[in-house]
Amino acid sequence: MSAHDVTIYWRPGCGFCASLRAALGPDAGRAQWRNIWEDPEAAATVRDLNDGNELVPTVVIDGVGYSNPDPALVHEALLE
């Protein structure tokens, strides 16, 4: 597992989410993935971080939220 706590909030059909997963490649499994359509707590977290919007992917790295971040940022956190 990653030395960092990485949670990726996503939803089915989201092209940006699919692109992030593809960019992370085999390291995607190092993150915790939470589907906001199946997890009301995850959806609430995303709304809290995005001014009430369910913007995905939203990534939380060590408690800091990033909306649709550069995959390189996420990948670096997963590998450190």
User: What domains are there in the chain, each with its CATH number?
Assistant: 6-79 (3.40.30.10)
Q: 44-80 pLDDT, tens per residue?
A: 999 999 999 999 999 999 999 999 999 999 999 999 8
pTM to 2 decimals? 0.94
DSSP 34-59: EETTT-HHHHHHHHHHTTT---SSEE
Q: Which two tokens stand for residue 27?
A: 């390291």
Average pLDDT over residues 28-39: 97
The amino acid present at 65, given as its one-letter code, is: G
Average pLDDT value over all residues in the chain: 95
Is residue 80 within 8 Å of 62, Cβ to Cβ? no
Return the closest-CA partner of residue 68 out of 50, 54, 51, 56. 56
